[in-house]
A and B are shown apart, each in its own frame.
Chain A
């Protein structure tokens, strides 16, 4: 007789263990979040506006294993990603985090010498409680199920603090790696820039490319930019084809702070990602751009928020997506201008390229304006590859699928040009080409 492997799931016992290992303030936060998770209804595409076009009724988070251990798959995806970073940014500080809660720091000495704090988030929760709490307080722990789940269960993650008037002399690259069927991973990124500080932060979410392993990835990034701080922030989501990815990247900006954010979404089976800039201080500026590419039956949902509270704030968002096969993109973007946010200048734009008849893209940019002296706008478009563009390339001998790849790359180009970190762009370029080849079914010999 064979015995089925018993995989532990998520329950209050796991939360109790996590709380037991946390400082008091964090332990009570975990318990409160679990309490909220237990009472909040699971997102419903019938009831919740946020989830109307993204149905996760079939996702039962509790059956995933929050205590999954180390495996060769995990270590090999970490090593490969580390190599990719070394190829484009050999001088970068690298923080490797994984689903087991391991946090490894590489090449952080120069930053530490500047007074920059780089450590695991659990260490920061004990030694730099005020900073972590300042960041955590920007996002209510128990308001919606997925962030509540994250707040109760995150194992560990990375913490970066840049002191006042320090320009970090190295970019910080964070690898969030996960692997193996039925693993639940809760990647955590927490970053605080003090007044007049600056930093480049790159966050890579990776797992083995296989569709065989079904994982739950539930991540939250808390970022705080104090007065006149400047952050260049890039996020890559390149998870395997069996991953449910639920992400919140929230950046709070105080007066005159500047954010340049770039997101690239290539992986996962289903993603719901919140990209949020809270422009609280007067004169804050947030530039967000991104690309997303989906094939097969991938479902990629991006929901952006440009929330203006301070006066004289500026925000821009450009998301370009290309979908093929039966893939679907959902984009919902809100510019929310508060009553106090006079002289807001904001624009949100989403463009979609539909590469095959069964692929689909929904685009809902929205404005909610309560101040009277503002300049705001939005744009959205979706369409197939232009026949005349394709014919022009084919008339030069270029086969149809290569022509399409060239056109899609061209379509992404203006968004890619906004990636604030050239090393990240260098890492993304070949990755994007390989993914396009796969999605467009282009053989290696032709590329």
Chain B
């Protein structure tokens, strides 16, 4: 039974794309206010889990459940899940030419019932952009159009900061960032968690220990072949860095993980 006290409760989740099974029984529970890291080899299905939880229409859920504070996410379209408070920071955010960031952000906040007056909105936007060290020109640029890799990652964190989700699924927010940019992004995530008064949870997909040193996850999950095969404290991430997935997965007997 899903636990309504739990922010995210995923049990036995199976998902396919083009009738190929990618997720093969994912179990994961994230309590309010916790940061969980999800690590695993390329192709193990981490991004698929992110898409499956946020409602990408390309993925079919074939078994299992996923609830946010007891509400079943699976029958909902992506927009309704976002309105409930699920946020996805895309690994490769798509460009939408002709649509300015500022118009997009206002439309998103309006859709989530978080509309501010034009003046309040601009104040918020200016503040968050300054925190993320983003140039003012971002406002009038088209969504992700011609953005550098680092600009895209910051723009994703900016959206999270403005939308204040319940659950932020961050798909490799650190890939391709230099040390300074990484710290800015990590600070942005931490600010959002702290600003939510301990309510926002984070599922952080990453390959690197460095962002975990900034964000200090409560739990680290290891993903392999479409499911969570091990869960543990932050030390697990260090072991992966030292031994690699092969070394680690060879040693640790697969477990059905739960927090």
List the interface of chain A (C-beta within 8 A of B): 386-389, 391-400, 402-403, 406-407, 409-414
Q: For A400, what are the chain B residues with a Cβ–Cβ distance below 8 Å?
A: 77, 79
**Contact status of A402 and B82, CB under 8 A, knowing A389-B94, A397-B112:** no
Interface check B58, CB cutoff 8 A: yes
Q: Are A397 and B163 in contact (CB under 8 A)?
A: yes
Apart from A396-B111, A399-B79, A403-B79: 8 A-B pairs, beta carbons within 8 A: A395-B82, A396-B82, A396-B108, A397-B108, A397-B111, A400-B77, A407-B99, A410-B99
Contact B97 A394 (CB under 8 A): no
Chain B interface residues toward A at CB < 8 A:
54-58, 77-79, 82-83, 87-88, 90, 93-94, 96-99, 103-104, 107-108, 111-112, 142-143, 159, 163
CB distance from B187 to the nearest CB of A (A): 22
A127 CB, nearest partner CB in chain B, Å: 47
* Contacting residues, chain B, for A394 (C-beta < 8 A): 55, 77-79, 82
Separation of A399 and B80 alpha carbons in the complex (Å): 8
Bound Cα distance from A399 to B142, whole angstroms: 20
Q: With a CB–CB cut-off of 8 A, which chain A residues contact B82?
A: 394-398
In-complex Cβ contact of A409 among B57, B58, B98 (8 A): B98
B112 contacts A392, C-beta separation under 8 Å: no
Is B107's CB under 8 angstroms from A410's CB?
no
The reply to whether A399 and B94 form a contact with Cβ atoms under 8 Å apart is no
Query: In whole angstroms, how far apart are the Cα atoms of A392 and B142 in the complex?
Result: 14
Chain A residues near B111 (CB-CB < 8 A): 396-399, 402
Q: Flag if A398 contacts B94 (CB, 8 Å).
A: no
Count chain B CB atoms within 10 A of each CB in A396, A397, A403, A411 and give the residue with the most. Answer: A397
Establish whether residues A397 and B83, one from each chain, have CB atoms under 8 Å apart when the complex forms.
yes
Chain A's closest residue to B105 (CB) is A396
Do B94 and A386 touch (CB < 8 A)?
yes
Cα(A403)–Cα(B143), bound, Å: 13
Cross-chain pairs A/B with CB under 8 angstroms, 5 sampled: A392-B90, A392-B143, A397-B82, A397-B111, A398-B82
Instruction: From known contacts A394-B55, A395-B54, infer whether A389 and B96 are also in contact, taking CB-CB under 8 Å.
Output: yes
- CB pair B107–A402 under 8 Å, yes or no, is yes
Which residues in B have their C-beta under 8 angstroms from that of A403?
A: 79
* Pairwise interchain contact A398-B79, C-beta atoms closer than 8 A: yes
Find the residue from B55, B83, B98, B108 having the highest chain A CB count within 10 A: B98
Residues of A close to B78: CB separation below 8 A: 391, 394-395
Question: Across the interface, do B94 and A412 meet the contact criterion of CB distance under 8 Å?
Answer: no
A391–B79 Cα gap in the complex (Å)? Answer: 8
Q: Whole-angstrom distance between the alpha carbons of A391 and B88 in the complex?
A: 11
Inter-chain CA distance A105–B98, complex, in Å, is: 38
Contacting residues, chain A, for B104 (C-beta < 8 A): 393, 396, 406
Asked whether, in the complex, the Cβ of A406 is within 8 Å of the Cβ of B94, the reply is no
Inter-subunit contact A413/B97 (CB<8 Å): yes
Task: Decide if A387 touches B58 in the complex (CB within 8 Å).
Answer: yes
Chain B residues near A406 (CB, 8 Å)? 96, 99, 103-104, 107
